Amino acid sequence: MNAMRDRSADSFRQLLLEKYSLPLRAHAHVDKSANPALTRPLRELWEATDLSAAEFADEVSDYFALPRLSLPQLLAGTPRLDGFSRRFLRESTIFPFSATNGGTATDVFQLAVADPSDTAAIRAAEIVFGAPVDVVVASYEDITTVLDQRADADDAHADRTGRSVAQQSDDDIESLRDLASGAPVVRALNDLLERAVDLRASDIHVEPFRSGLVVRMRVDGLLRALPSPHGIPPQALISRIKILASLNIAERRLPQDGAARVRVGRSELDVRVATMPTQHGESAVIRLLPRDRGLLEMSKLGLGARDESAMTRLLAMPHGMIVVTGPTGSGKTTTLATMLSILNEPTRKILTIEDPVEYEIPGINQSQVKPSIGLTFASAMRAFVRQDPDVIMVGEVRDAETAHIAIHAALTGHLVLTTLHTETAAAAVPRLIDLGIEGFLLKSTLRAVVAQRLVRMLCDRCKVPHSLSEADLAKDPRFAVIGFKAGEVVHEAGGCERCGGTGFRGRNGVFEILEMSDEVRALVGPQTDSHSIDAAAMRGGMTTMLEDAVAKCRAGLTTVPEVFRVTTLR
């Protein structure tokens, strides 16, 4: 060992030059003392020559008089990685292990090195083991390979046995945090946010795949692929997003949710971040909630004349329950916010519990659920009834407990607004019964169900009128199904700079409002089905979402394919 340490990398460089007469491509005469950043002289020497990794390791072994091990021999050893950070092992290119004899590990610690002149790494290994180590030589490539295989396997075993992930990767996490805080990564995320604001996107999806990072933005309800940030490691961008939302960047195995308030250009945004572990790393979805957007007026929701009249009549009721239904992203929150803004008067006390609070409305007491501390929809509703409210809005009825509290709040003289996830307005009635609400209570409290979807609106500047012919009707039977005839004019998407070439700009709602008439109320019971309620409502004059969408199509506001994208025949 002493003889080995007496031999320097500089003398080895000279020997290599004399033996092979090799012209070094780079760093051939670098003075290490004049360049302190050159911390691995032998690696620099190898990279400057034309020798393969194995040939260079052979020369190192011969010169320093140390045993030379191949990759299979390294893989046959038992890794001794406890006490070493993975970052240190990779930067020093060393692999601590114990050899096996007859399948049994010996007590002699060995250290595979690519650079025997790196005495600091060897000394560090002796300190960790508390004993001398036998130094052997392996190539840079072989040590990197065995670290990738053995360290990953050791990490997986540590996770199964409950060892803290932070213990195994503290240095990696700090390195990642530094990288995520660097100017290129910060600038890349800011560019994504600015691009999202320019496109009027509602969400940014950052997804890692085997081929690299994929970035998509949801614009007018549809995802649009965008170029990924160039030269930015996927994990660094995800970590930057997690830092922005105050999430734990060391936790990569569990989903996380967070929020932040950011300024992008002249706009101030509330962002909600949700991460999810996937096969190739963590994916993140950033939901953008502009804080300076004005509340919509009822006339801007897209309600037809009959439905707008029905909505105005419903909001004038002093108590009862109004339910808004539709899938995620169908505009339910905007409809509720508009209803609240109409009800928002100094003479009324309005309380809301939401997840999250998307519209901040002055004069309304708004709360956000925090399940981690026990603030759920149900617990908030129980507290609300002791706050002497006139109107209560609960973001979503998710369970039987919340449903019962909402019904009883409506029974005791409050106007309750809430949402459900059902396909049609009629389906909300059996859904509430399924949640344990008695039929007689539902008859007494439920005033109406509003179902809705969002359709993309044609760009006013580039939409193209088209007169339907018999050939069009034969080619696409959907025209005839919804009542179009030859000679009628429909509009199609064009594409211009204003709409980004898509032909669409903005979205509007298509609605159906099911009011609880005497005929509908008589059908409510344990065996209630949505089809009979739907039929009774349509006999009573209810405009279905499909009929509302077709009316917008005839008015030149949207297209037939868009109608069928969001609604179905009944």
Residues 6+ apart with CB under 8 A from 31: none
Q: Specify if 1 maps to a domain.
A: no
Q: Are 110 and 78 found together in one domain?
A: yes
Q: Measure the CA–CA gap between 392 and 414, rounded to whole angstroms.
A: 7
Q: Are 48 and 138 found together in one domain?
A: yes
Q: Are 441 and 330 found together in one domain?
A: yes
Q: Are 278 and 308 found together in one domain?
A: no
Instruction: Tell me how many helices (H) and strands (E) the chain has.
Output: 23, 19
Q: Specify if 550 maps to a domain.
A: no
Q: Are 302 and 286 found together in one domain?
A: no
Assign residue 213 the CATH number of its domain. Answer: 3.30.450.90
Q: Are 310 and 241 found together in one domain?
A: no
H-type helices in 482-555, by residue range? Answer: 518-522, 530-539, 545-554
Q: Do 114 and 135 form a contact (C-beta atoms < 8 A)?
A: no
How many other CB atoms sit within 10 Å of the CB of residue 278? 11
Among 114, 135, 153, which residue terminates a domain? 153
Assign residue 518 the CATH number of its domain. Answer: 3.40.50.300
Q: Specify if 384 maps to a domain.
A: yes
Least Cα distance to 312 among 279, 342, 271, 345 occurs for 342
Q: Do 112 and 94 form a contact (C-beta atoms < 8 A)?
A: yes
21-24: long-range contacts at Cβ-Cβ below 8 A with a sequence spacing of 24 or more? 22/49, 22/50, 22/51, 24/48, 24/49
Chain CA centroid to CA 42, Å: 44
Q: Are 358 and 266 found together in one domain?
A: no
Q: Are 25 and 81 found together in one domain?
A: yes
DSSP class per residue in 147-180: HHHHHHHHHHHHHHTT--HHHHHHHHHHHHHHHH
Q: Are 209 and 249 found together in one domain?
A: yes
Q: Measure the CA–CA gap between 360 and 112, rounded to whole angstroms.
A: 62
Split into its structural domains, the chain has a count of 3
Q: Are 29 and 87 found together in one domain?
A: yes
Element (H, E) at 379: helix 377-384
16-22: long-range contacts at Cβ-Cβ below 8 A with a sequence spacing of 24 or more? 16/45, 16/49, 16/59, 19/59, 20/49, 20/51, 22/49, 22/50, 22/51
CB-hemisphere CA count at 13 Å for 430?
A: 14
Q: Are 451 and 415 found together in one domain?
A: yes
Q: Is 486 left (phi over 0), alpha (psi -120 to 50) or beta?
A: beta
Instruction: Return the axis-axis angle of helices 9-20 and 41-48, rounded to nearest 10°.
Output: 20
Q: Are 31 and 134 found together in one domain?
A: yes
Among 270, 290, 310, which residue terminates a domain? 290
- What Å distances lie between residue 333 and 300, 344, 570, CA to CA? 14, 16, 26
Q: Specify if 380 maps to a domain.
A: yes
Q: Specify if 480 maps to a domain.
A: no
Name residue 367's beta-bridge partners. 353
Among 232, 267, 290, which residue terminates a domain? 290
How many other CB atoms sit within 10 Å of the CB of residue 222? 12
Q: Specify if 462 maps to a domain.
A: no
Assign residue 27 the CATH number of its domain. Answer: 3.30.300.160
Domain hosting 118: range is 9-153
Chain CA centroid to CA 229, Å: 17
Q: Specify if 549 maps to a domain.
A: no
Q: Specify if 249 maps to a domain.
A: yes
The residue type found at 321 is M
pLDDT in tens, the chain (570 residues): 444 545 666 666 666 666 655 444 433 333 434 333 333 457 767 766 777 788 888 888 888 889 999 888 888 888 888 888 777 888 888 999 987 555 444 567 899 998 888 888 888 888 888 888 899 999 888 888 888 776 655 555 544 444 444 444 455 566 656 666 667 888 889 889 989 988 889 999 999 988 888 999 999 889 999 988 887 888 888 988 998 888 888 888 899 988 888 888 777 888 889 999 998 889 999 999 876 555 568 888 889 899 999 999 999 999 999 999 999 889 898 899 999 999 999 999 999 998 878 888 889 999 988 887 889 999 999 999 899 999 999 989 989 999 999 999 999 899 999 999 999 999 999 999 999 999 999 999 999 999 999 999 999 889 999 998 888 888 888 888 888 888 889 999 988 888 888 899 889 999 999 999 999 999 998 888 899 999 999 999 999 999 999 999 999 999 999 998 898 876
pTM exceeds cut of 0.75: no
